[in-house]
Amino acid sequence: MKVSIVSDKCIACGLCQTYSPFFDYDDNGIVTFSQTDQSVCETSDDDLDTLTAVKACPTKALTIL
């Protein structure tokens, strides 16, 4: 699955990294991918932790493409 980050929507609540190591934060606490500095990254379709993180995002800064 492809996951997209809309950093302008991120409020730095920390839920995404709590659920999945696929996510990290920049110096301002805004979500990034732990593997790349791109705004879209691909992970396996059975990565349930990342799927849970995307669904838990309160501002919808994370989306599945």
| Confidence class for position 8, pLDDT limits 50, 70, 90 | very high
Query: Are 54 and 62 spatial neighbours (Cβ–Cβ below 8 Å)?
Result: yes
Q: What is the pLDDT of residues 26-52, one digit of tens each?
A: 999 999 999 899 999 999 999 999 999
Summarize the confidence of residues 1-18 as an average pLDDT: 96
DSSP 52: H
| Confidence class for position 14, pLDDT limits 50, 70, 90 | very high
pTM over the 0.85 mark: yes
| Distance of alpha carbon 61 from the chain centroid | 8
Q: What domains, with CATH codes, occur in the chain? A: 2-64 (3.30.70.20)
